[in-house]
Each structure stands twice: as C-alpha cells, then as structure tokens.
Amino acid sequence: MITHTVAFKLKHPAGSAAEQLFLAKGSRLAEIAGVENFRCLRQISPKNPYDFNFSMQFADQTAYAHYNQHPDHQSFVKDIWLKEVADFLEADFIEI
Amino acid sequence: MITHTVAFKLKHPAGSAAEQLFLAKGSRLAEIAGVENFRCLRQISPKNPYDFNFSMQFADQTAYAHYNQHPDHQSFVKDIWLKEVADFLEADFIEI
C-alpha cells in the first residue's frame, strides 16, 4: 500500500468560495479507479507553510501509475492545479 | 481527531544500524498515553527531500499537549532527535 499526499497552499483567499470550489474539484480525484481512502485535510501547524493536504492510497505502483496517467487527473493538474495552487510539496509513504 | 506528522532526514547513512536504532527509539513514542495509530513510514517520492515520517493521531488538543509536554517526548527530542536529525518538517492535519 502506497500513501500519496500533496500539501498545498492556494492563491485564493482563506475561506473564499474559490477555495471551496477548488477543494470540491480536487476531492473528485477520489472517483478515479484505484484511489482508496481519499482525504481532504486542513494543515494546522504554524511550523508548516501549507494550508491543505490531499491524501490517498494505492494498492501498488500499478494503481498509482494508472492514477497519474488518468485523463481526469491530468486535466485537473493542467486546468485547475497549475492555475490555482501557489506552492506545494508531494510526499509518498510506505510502511517500513 | 488531529493527525500529527513529522517528515525527517537523518544524519546517519541509509541502511545503517544507527538509522534502525533511531527509528526503533522514535517508535517508542507510541507508548505515550494519548498517542493513537502511530506509524513509522518511509518517504519514497523523489520530489520530496525527507526520507522518513512519523505519523500519530490524538483525540483532541488536550491529548496532543499532553504528548508534547510528556517527559519521554521531551527527552527524546533533546537527547536523540536534535542530535541525529539533519532536517525535518512538521505537519498537523484535521478533516475539513
């Protein structure tokens, strides 16, 4: 099981309708086949520069690659993510 | 429920006994009262500078504060973490 996460900060003002719409659109990534346990989280540590986090799990690298290449994911990145996200950091985890 | 995480990179060589010992000592933080679902993870994304991640959950801010102030946590930070960790980033998450 691979946990894929991305912490991010939006260009939109905190609490704005644009922020809510972005999170709603991002949460639809959960519908792509192979995405498990999708979570949309708020980052609350003042020691961290990001405001939100999408977290999801994949059974294996094949499922992860399927997601990465999926047209719904690619269009989300191109048409929404790259335009509305100010900064981000990806992280992927496996159990030791 | 609050998810507290810290991504980190050690001063020790990858695969070393010192690395394993650090992870074993860190994993004992799970024994502090209030720590739930402790996970010791390997970070595998090449887009991220950290190699490991400790993740744990607390029922509320009171349980989180108890952990932060607990002598076992404070001695781990002072005697082990600050000496053996090269770089780190904390992140705390709540469900939106």
What domains lie within chain B, and their CATH numbers? 2-93 (3.30.70.100)
Residue A78 has a pLDDT of 98
Q: Once rounded to an integer, what is the mean pLDDT over residues B70-96?
A: 98
Report CB contact under 8 Å: A94, B44.
yes
Residues of chain B with pLDDT > 90, as a percent, come to 100
| Whole-number pLDDT of residue A54 | 98
CB B43 within 8 A of CB B50: yes
Confidence label for A76 from pLDDT (cuts 50, 70 and 90) = very high
pTM above 0.90, yes or no: yes
Our CA-based measurement puts residue B47 at a distance from the nearest CA of chain A, in whole angstroms, of: 6
**Kind of pairing between the strands at A36-43 and B36-43:** unpaired
Structure tokens at B63: 């349980």
pLDDT confidence of residue A46: 97
In angstroms, the CA A56 to CA A61 distance is 13
Q: Are B68 and B92 in contact (CB under 8 A)?
A: no
Give B40-75 pLDDT, tens digit per residue: 999 999 999 999 999 999 999 999 999 999 999 999
Contact state of B91 with A7 under an 8 Å Cβ cutoff:
yes
- pLDDT, tens digit, for every residue of A20-66? 999 999 999 999 999 999 999 999 999 999 999 999 999 999 999 99
- In terms of DSSP H, where are the helices of B3-86? 17-27, 61-69, 71-76, 82-84
Instruction: Look at residues B53, B36, B56 and name the one whose alpha carbon lies nearest to residue B44.
Output: B53
Report the C-alpha dihedral over residues A40, A45, A8, B76, rounded to 10 degrees: -100
**Quick one: DSSP state of residue A78?**
I
CA–CA separation, A71 and A74 (whole Å): 5
